[in-house]
C-alpha cells in the first residue's frame, strides 16, 4: 500500500520532468526509496515519459535485484542504488539533462552564488563532478564523494543529479537549479557578476530551512 | 462576498505565474488589499502553485495579523504589509523571479529604455534596489524608498516586485517587464542599444495612460 | 455571414498570438478586411487575448468609423486603416512584439538572409522602419513607405507588422519571421554569418511562391 | 492495415513536431517507408500541422508516384524517396528547422562532442552538408553522400534531417539533437568547451546501442 503511493509519487514526478522542460524524449529518471522497507522504485530504461504508467516502474531491493516489474530498469540504476546505500538520509534521486544547468556541467564550472534562490535552496555552490561513465556505479561514487551537503550536483559533460529526503524535495531542487542556471546564464553573458557575501548566504539558507514553507506550521 | 471575489482574483493571478513562466516551483507570490476593509489576501508560504486553491489563501489585517486561514503566510508577508501601509494607492503586489528581468537584478543594472513597451507601460527606467534580506520588512522598505512612480522594481540579486491599483495591473506589469527584459537582453547581446529620447518616452507614457484600453470607453 | 466568418478567423488568429509566444498580455493585434464590403474587423484596445471572444471584435469602414461593436478599437486602428487604403492587395495585418524579431527592431538592423526560410517566405531582407509614434497614422505611413513587396516590417524600437492577402498569410509571416530571427540570433552570437547568394534567394522565393503548399493542387 | 498503422504513426510524429518546438507553422515533415510493401507515407505540402489528419497523408511508391491521396505531397518528397532508395536500412525521415541545431547549420559548423547525449545517441560528430536547393533530389544526394552512419545531418543554411529504422528513432534523433545543440550553444557562449576523448565517445555509443532501452529485454 505504502509502496503503491510511492510508485504513484515517482510516476507523477517522472511525467513532470518533460512538462517542466528538464528532460527530452526518454532521458533522465526519478527514483525513490521506501522509508520502511528500503525498497527502491525506479523508471524503466529508455521509456518515453509520455507513455509511462505507474505500473511500468520497477521495484528493487538494496542490492539492485528486481522484486517487482518485467521491464529493464534505468541504466542509472546501479548509481541510484549506490547513492541510497551510502546516504541513509536520502530517499529520492532525480536525474535530468536540463539545458541551462547542463551547460555549466559542460564547462566544468559551478554557478556563481549571486541569487537569493541559490543561497536559500542550496546554501553552498553546486559541486561539479569529474567525468564518469554511464552504466555502473561510477556516477554514484562521484555523487557520494562530491555532493557534500548540497542537494544537487553538476555531472561533468552529462547533466544534473538532485537528492532529497523525498521526491518533492528532489524535484524542487532540480527545478530551482535550472531556473537559477538560466538567470545566471543571462546575467553572465551581459556583465560581470558578483557573489553574495558568505554571511548573507549562510543567513539566507538558515532562514529558508527554518522558516520557509508549511513544515513548522 | 467582496473578499471572496478578491480571494478568487488573487488565486487566478497566482496560478497564472508559473503558466506564464514568471515563477518556478513554489517561488513568488501575489497579494491584494480589499479597498473597503483594508484586509490583505496573500499566498501561503512555500506552496506549490499547482496545488493552490482559493481557500488556501490567508487573509490578514494591516498589522499583519491573520484573520482567516490556517496555513503559514508567505515569508514576504511583512514586506507586502509594509508596502500597503506606505502606499495607499496600491492594492496589489506581485513578486516573481522571472529569469530575464532577474538577470538585470543580478547585475544591478536597469533595462535600457529602447522599447515602446517600456516607455508606455513604465514611463521611467525600472529602479534597481540595494540588496535586502528576505523575511522581514527590509524588502518592503527598499520598494517604498526606491520604486517612485514606477509599477516595478528589480530587487538586487533576487527578483522582481510589481505594484498595481489592482491585481490585473500588477500582473500586467510583471508580464510586460519580463517581455521587455527578454527582448532587450537579445538586442544587448548583439549590439549597442540606444534609448528613446525623453520626450518620446513622456509622450508615449501619457498616450498609453490616457488612451489605451477600455478605461475611457 | 461572410463577415461572421472573417470575425471568427480574426479571433482565431488573435488567440493564437499568445499561444505561439508572439505577444504578451494585451499587446499586439490582428485585423482583416472583407474582400466584398471593404469592412475591417479589428481587436478592441488593451483587451486580454485570453478573455477575447469573436463578438468583442469591432467592425469599421474604410474611414475608420465603427459600424459594429461597443468597445474602443485598438490604438493601432488608424494605422491598419491607412495600410488597407493604400494597399488594395492586402486583406490582413498582424502586429506583434515577438521578442527575437523585435530585438532586431531595437538595433535597427535587418536579419541577415542566411536561411532558406527567409529566402522562401520573404524573398528580400525584412525592411526596418524609422521610429514612429503609436496612436495615429504614422506607423501606417512607415509601413506603406518602407515595406515594398515584403510581407513583414521591423518597426524601430517597437515590434513587427506583417501583411497578407488573408489572415493565414499574415500569421504565417509573423511565425516564420520570429523563428528565423531566433535561429539567426543564436548563429550571430556564436560566429560570423554569410548570406545566401542573390540568385539562390530569388530562385528559392520563386519556387516557394509557385510550388509550395496546396494552392496549385 | 499495416499501412494504416504506419499512416497513424507518421501523423502522430508530425503533430509532435510543433508541440516539441522542432518546427513552426507548416515547415518540416515526417515520412516513413513500409517494410513489406516499400510504400512511403509522407506529409502534404505546406499543410498546417494543427489541421493535419492521418487521411491527409500521401502514399507513394519508390518512384515517387502517388498511390493514395489527393493532396500535393511535400516539396521534399523527391529527397525522401532518394534517401529511401539509397538507404535500405532507413525507414523514416524527419525534417525540422529546430532553431538551436539550425543555428549550427547556418554557421556550417558541427556541434562539439562535449555531451554524453551526443556520444550515446550519435556516436560521431553530426555531419554538415553543403548548400542544396529545395524541391528536387539535391538535398537527398547531400544526405546520402555526407550522413555516413550518423542518424542526423545539419543541412547548410536550412535545417535538420534525421534518419531512423523507424519513426520513433528518427523523432528521438531530432529531439536529442535539438536538446544537445541548445545546451552546447549556452556553454559555447560562456566559455571554451572541450570534447570528450574518442575512446569515451566510442564506449558510450556502444553501451547505449547495446544496453539502453527495452530492446534486449
Q: How many helices (H) and strands (E) does chain C have?
A: 7, 7
Mean pLDDT of B134-158: 97
Kindly give the parts of chain A with pLDDT less than 70.
Answer: 1, 215-217
Query: Which pLDDT band holds residue B2 (cuts at 50, 70, 90)?
Result: confident
Q: Which of D186, D193, D209, D210 would you mutate first to test chain A, the one with the most A CBs within 10 A?
A: D186
- Residue A216 has what pLDDT? 46
Q: Could you tell me how many CB contacts below 8 A there are between chain A and chain D?
A: 88
Length of chain D: 217
CA distance A43 to chain B (A): 22
- Residue D217 has what pLDDT? 39
User: What is the number of alpha carbons within 13 Å of residue B29 lying toward its C-beta?
Assistant: 22
CA distance B175 to chain C (A): 7
Instruction: Write down the pTM of the prediction.
Output: 0.97
CA distance D128 to D214: 31
- Residue D2 has what pLDDT? 77
Give A 98-137 residues with CB within 8 A of chain B.
Answer: 114-117, 120
pLDDT at C217 over 70: no
Confirm or reject contact between A181 and chain B (CB < 8 A). no
Please spell the DSSP secondary structure of chain A, one letter per residue.
-HHHHHHHHHHHHHHHHHHTTS--TT--EEEEE-TTT--EEEPBTT--GGG--GGG-EEE-TTS-EEE-SSPB-TTHHHHHHHHHH-TT--EEEEE--HHHHHHHHHT----S-SHHHHHHTSSPPPBPPP--SSSSHHHHHHHHH-TT-SEEEETTTEEEEEESSHHHHHHHHHHHHHHHHHHHHHHHHS---PPPHHHHHHHHHHHHHHSSSTT-
Higher pLDDT, B96 or B214: B96
- Residue B7 has what pLDDT? 96
pLDDT at C68 over 50: yes
CA distance D71 to chain C (A): 7
3-class secondary structure, B100 = helix
Interface touch A191/B102, C-beta < 8 Å: no
- Residue D69 has what pLDDT? 95
- Residue D215 has what pLDDT? 65
Interface touch D120/A134, C-beta < 8 Å: yes
pLDDT tens figures, B148-181: 999 999 999 999 999 999 999 999 999 999 999 9
Confirm or reject contact between D75 and chain C (CB < 8 A). yes
Nearest CB neighbour to C212, from listed D46, D107, D109: D46
- Residue C2 has what pLDDT? 77
- Residue A2 has what pLDDT? 77
Confirm or reject contact between D204 and chain A (CB < 8 A). yes
pLDDT at B215 over 90: no
pLDDT tens figures, C80-103: 999 999 999 999 999 999 999 999
Task: Give B29's strand partners.
Answer: B95
Kindly give the parts of chain D with pLDDT less than 50.
Answer: 216-217
Share above pLDDT 70 across residues of chain C, in percent, rounded to a whole number: 98
Mean pLDDT of chain B: 96
Confirm or reject contact between C50 and chain B (CB < 8 A). no
Interface touch D185/C184, C-beta < 8 Å: no
CA distance A20 to A179: 11
Residues of chain A neighbouring D193 (CB-CB closer than 8 A): 106-107
Structural domain boundaries in chain A = 4-211
Nearest CB neighbour to A45, from listed D179, D204, D212: D212
Interface touch D134/C116, C-beta < 8 Å: yes
Interface touch D106/C207, C-beta < 8 Å: no
> Which chains are adjacent to chain C, needing at least 3 Cβ pairs under 8 Å?
B, D
- Residue A217 has what pLDDT? 39
Q: Which of A214, A215, A216 would you mutate first to test chain B, the one with the most B CBs within 10 A?
A: A214
Mean pLDDT of B189-198: 98
Q: Which of A24, A26, A44, A136 would you mutate first to test chain D, the one with the most D CBs within 10 A?
A: A24
Nearest CB neighbour to A186, from listed B72, B159, B185: B185
- Residue D216 has what pLDDT? 46
Interface touch C107/B184, C-beta < 8 Å: no
- Residue B216 has what pLDDT? 46
Please give the CATH architecture assigned to the domain spanning B4-211.
3-Layer(aba) Sandwich (3.40)
Amino acid at each position: 500500500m505504502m509502496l503503491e503511493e510511492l510508485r504513484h509519487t515517482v510516476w507523477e514526478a517522472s511525467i513532470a520532468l518533460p512538462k517542466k522542460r528538464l528532460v527530452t524524449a526518454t532521458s533522465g529518471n526519478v527514483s525513490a526509496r521506501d522509508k520502511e522497507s528500503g525498497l527502491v522504485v525506479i523508471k524503466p530504461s529508455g521509456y518515453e515519459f509520455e507513455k509511462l504508467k505507474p505500473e511500468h516502474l520497477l521495484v528493487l531491493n538494496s542490492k539492485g535485484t528486481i522484486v517487482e516489474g518485467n521491464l529493464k530498469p534505468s541504466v542509472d540504476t546501479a548509481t541510484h542504488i549506490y547513492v541510497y546505500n551510502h546516504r541513509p538520509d536520502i530517499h529520492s534521486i532525480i536525474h535530468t539533462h536540463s539545458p541551462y544547468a547542463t551547460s555549466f556541467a559542460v564547462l566544468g564550472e559551478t554557478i556563481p552564488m549571486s541569487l537569493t534562490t541559490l543561497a536559500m535552496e542550496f546554501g553552498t555552490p553546486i559541486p561539479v563532478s569529474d567525468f564518469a561513465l554511464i552504466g555502473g556505479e561510477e556516477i554514484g561514487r562521484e555523487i557520494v564523494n562530491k555532493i557534500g551537503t548540497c542537494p544537487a550536483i553538476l555531472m561533468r559533460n552529462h547533466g544534473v543529479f538532485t537528492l532529497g529526503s523525498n521526491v518533492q524535495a528532489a524535484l524542487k531542487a532540480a527545478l530551482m537549479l535550472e531556473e537559477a542556471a538560466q538567470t545566471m546564464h543571462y546575467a553572465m553573458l551581459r556583465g560581470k557578476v558578483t557573489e553574495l557575501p558568505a554571511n548573507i548566504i549562510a543567513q539566507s539558507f538558515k532562514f529558508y530551512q527554518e522558516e520557509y514553507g508549511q513544515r513548522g506550521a
